[in-house]
Amino acid sequence: MMEEDSSLVIAAPEALPREAAARVHTSEYLKDLDGDEHTERTQASELPLSRQIVNAYYLATAGTCLAAKLALEHGGGMNLSGGFHHAYADRAEGFCYLNDVAIAARQLQKDHGVGKVAIVDCDVHQGNGTARIFEDDGTVFTFSMHQRDNYPMFKEKSDLDVDLPNGVGDDEFCEELSGALERISNDFEADFVFYLAGVDPYENDQLGGLGVSIDGMRRRDRLALEWCRASKTPVAVVLAGGYAFNTDDTVRMHCNTYHELESVIGQ
C-alpha cells in the first residue's frame, strides 16, 4: 500500500521473501528462527523467541528493503524501524534477529544493479554483525562510529571504525564524523548509502555514555545526509537504537532525522 502527496511517499512493506534473508543468513540459523525454543545461535538476542517477534523482524527488514528501493527512485527513503546491526550471518546478538541493512544491501546488488554500497553507522554501539558479514567484501564499505567502552565488548573490524571515549559532546562528535566521511569519500565511491541514525549517542540515553545533545544529534544527521546529497548518492535511513529516559526525546530525535532527510532530498 502506498500513499503520496507532493513531497512524501508513505508505503507499507510486503512480506520479505525467505530467499532475501538467505542471501545473508545461514540456512541453519534461519531454521532456528522458525522454532519456539532458543538454540545456541539465537539465545544471545536477549529477546524471547516467538513467531510473533520473528515475524516483526521480517516485516521490519522488508521495510528497510522498501526504503532502499524508494531511495533509488526518489533519492532518499526512511524505514521507521530497522538498524539491526548486531545480527551475524549465523547467529543473533543484542536485540537483533535479522541484519536488515545487510539483507537490503544484497537485494540492491542482486536485484537492482547497484554496485558499491556504503554503510554509515552512527549508533552508539558498534555494528559488529554488519562488520563481520562484509569483512571480505570489497563492494560494501562498513563504517561505524561508536562509544569505545560500550556493547559489544568485543568489537569486530569494520572498514573504518571511530571509537569515541565516554562523554564526547556535540562539537567533537560532529568533527569526528565529518573527518570520517571525508575519508570514506577518498577511499570508496559508493553507489548507495545506508545511514543507521541511532539516537543513543544522546546524553540522556539509558544504554549510552556519550554527551550529545538533541541539537547535536540533528547536526549529525545533517552532516551525514548532506554528504550523500553532495555526491548525489541515494540514501536509505533506518532508526537503529534509542533508549532515552524520556521517550519523548527519542521520538523528537527520530522526527528530526526525518525532517533533515526531507530537507536534503528536497534540495
Instruction: Give the pLDDT confidence of 89-128 residue by residue, as tens digits.
Output: 999 999 999 999 999 999 999 999 999 999 999 999 999 9
Task: Report the half-sphere exposure of 248 (CA within 13 A, side-chain side).
Answer: 0
User: What is the mean predicted confidence (pLDDT) over 16-33?
Assistant: 96
Q: Under a CB-based contact definition with an 8 Å cutoff, are residues 58 and 100 in contact?
A: no
30 contacts: CB under 8 Å, gap ≥ 6? 18, 21, 22
Give the Cα separation of 145 and 177 in Å (integer).
8
What is the pLDDT, as a whole number, of residue 266?
72
User: What is the mean predicted confidence (pLDDT) over 241-250?
Assistant: 97
Q: Under a CB-based contact definition with an 8 Å cutoff, are residues 79 and 40 in contact?
A: no
User: What is the mean predicted confidence (pLDDT) over 215-237?
Assistant: 97
pLDDT at 191 over 50: yes
Cβ density class 57-83: b for 16+ within 10 Å, e for less: bbebbbbbbbbbbbbbeebbbbbebbb
169's grid cell: 559532546
pLDDT at 32 over 80: yes
What is the pLDDT, as a whole number, of residue 186?
95
Give the Cα separation of 239 and 249 in Å (integer).
14
Sign of CA dihedral 127, 131, 133, 134: positive
112 is catalytic: no
pLDDT at 55 over 90: yes
The residue from 25, 85, 86, 254 that is catalytic is 86
What is the pLDDT, as a whole number, of residue 9?
79
What are the φ/ψ torsions at residue 82 (nearest 5 degrees)? 80, -175
What is the pLDDT, as a whole number, of residue 5?
52
CA-angle at 17, arms to 16 and 19, nearest 5°: 130
Closest by CA to 32, choosing from 46, 51, 13, is 51
Which CATH number is correct for 17-265, 3.40.800.20, 3.40.190.10, 3.40.50.360, 3.40.640.10?
3.40.800.20
User: What is the mean predicted confidence (pLDDT) over 58-77?
Assistant: 96
What is the pLDDT, as a whole number, of residue 127?
98
User: What is the mean predicted confidence (pLDDT) over 66-85?
Assistant: 96
pLDDT at 1 over 80: no
What is the pLDDT, as a whole number, of residue 6?
47
Please give the share of the chain, as a percent, with pLDDT higher than 90.
91
Question: Domain boundaries in the chain?
Answer: 17-265
pTM of the model: 0.95
User: What is the mean predicted confidence (pLDDT) over 61-90?
Assistant: 97
What is the pLDDT, as a whole number, of residue 264?
85
